[in-house]
Structure 1
């Protein structure tokens, strides 16, 4: 992958910012603290199926995609960026930047259980007060679109199999409403109507 001529967003500088010691594991870079003046649009895109694209070509190197995912940030205005200390580039996100591909339950079923979601890029997030689950419903088709917060303002959309796993864990709401939902870390997350 190369930068377009009107952008100086260099892969080498990016990799140094992401992996200062050359190691993939470890804490995520503090992208929330980085506010570089240089910014641009180099044709980066994350499609609804979780694939990453640059200037119309798919990025097939999984390691590169995982590295870029480490420096993603979604700002308050809804725009998503790859951010380094030197510059940031816009990422066009068709739906959500991550896909939740699996859900695991730990603990005794009920309010104290913990639901942990694994994403397509190897991140895990435990639903709870800091990582809510939300479900949007398409007004025309009635199709649910479930999401869980991964970090910052970045969400993962649940794949159909992961959503089915979640629905298998659903229980009726305790407030007498006709809703089903799931518990995680003491929070009840509604999934939809019981019928």
Structure 2
């Protein structure tokens, strides 16, 4: 497939990706890390800072389609791509591809749910990372979802985490999956 520059090519690219994803097992994730197709160009899909998936400047309104696309998303050294066994199309991700929109406790573990329906149990394999902007002091929390894909933790979810945390040596600490995660210094 050539570079995704006109509307017909773009539509066929979307259809090809959607068709390939439908072949994947229900709720399972296709083995995109094993697929090495030729790079086919770019497709006008942008995942905004707010988590909204856009195609040609318009939001993709069907949640099922966004979920399907999210299962074939991969981050390579040159950026984010939708990958099938026969196509690799570059997309734009303004921040992180997913949003952690809820969190709950299951025993001693924290379970996050993303905006595309992934469930993540925070722990050694899927850590919580909080970076702080040195100028503003604003926290920028994220949780690992799979491979090199992360979810930005929504502000309301971060507030829930702060409420769950305990103060240890001047830091807010959360425990999950046998690990301790720092949310930052106590102000």
Relative to the length of structure 1, the TM-score reads: 0.86
Q: 1:100: Cα distance to partner?
A: 0.5
Q: Secondary structure at the match of 2:116?
A: coil
The corresponding residue for 1:51 is 52
Cα distance in 2, alignment partners of residues 93 and 16 from structure 1: 22
Cα distance in 2, alignment partners of residues 12 and 47 from structure 1: 21
The corresponding residue for 2:178 is 186
The corresponding residue for 1:129 is 124
Q: 1:154: Cα distance to partner?
A: 0.6
Cα distance in 2, alignment partners of residues 54 and 19 from structure 1: 19
Please give the residue correspondences for 1:1-20 in structure 2 after superposition, counting only pairs within 5 Å. 4-5=5-6, 7=9, 10-20=13-23
Q: Secondary structure at the match of 1:10?
A: helix
Give the superposed CA RMSD: 1.9
Contact map agreement 1:38 1:86 (CA 8 A) in 2:
no
Q: Note if 1:106 corresponds to 2:109.
A: no
Please give the residue correspondences for 1:13-52 in structure 2 after superposition, counting only pairs within 5 Å. 13-20=16-23, 25-52=26-53
Cα deviation per residue 1:7-38 (whole Å; 9 max; x = unaligned)?
575334323321217x7x23111000111113
Cα distance in 2, alignment partners of residues 89 and 15 from structure 1: 13
Please give the residue correspondences for 1:88-167 in structure 2 after superposition, counting only pairs within 5 Å. 88-107=88-107, 113-167=108-162
> Any gaps of 5 or more consecutive residues in structure 2?
none
> Any gaps of 5 or more consecutive residues in structure 1?
108-112
1:154 to 1:128, Cα distance in 2 relative to 1, 3 A:
same
Cα distance in 2, alignment partners of residues 63 and 45 from structure 1: 17
Cα distance in 1, alignment partners of residues 78 and 147 from structure 2: 12
Cα deviation per residue 1:130-186 (whole Å; 9 max; x = unaligned)?
00000111122111110000111111111111001111111123xxx4211100011
Cα distance in 2, alignment partners of residues 142 and 186 from structure 1: 28
More helix as a share of residues: 2
Q: 1:55: Cα distance to partner?
A: 2.2
Q: Note if 1:86 corresponds to 2:89.
A: no
1:135 to 1:160, Cα distance in 2 relative to 1, 3 A:
same
Q: 1:57: Cα distance to partner?
A: 2.1
Q: Number of residue pairs matched?
A: 182
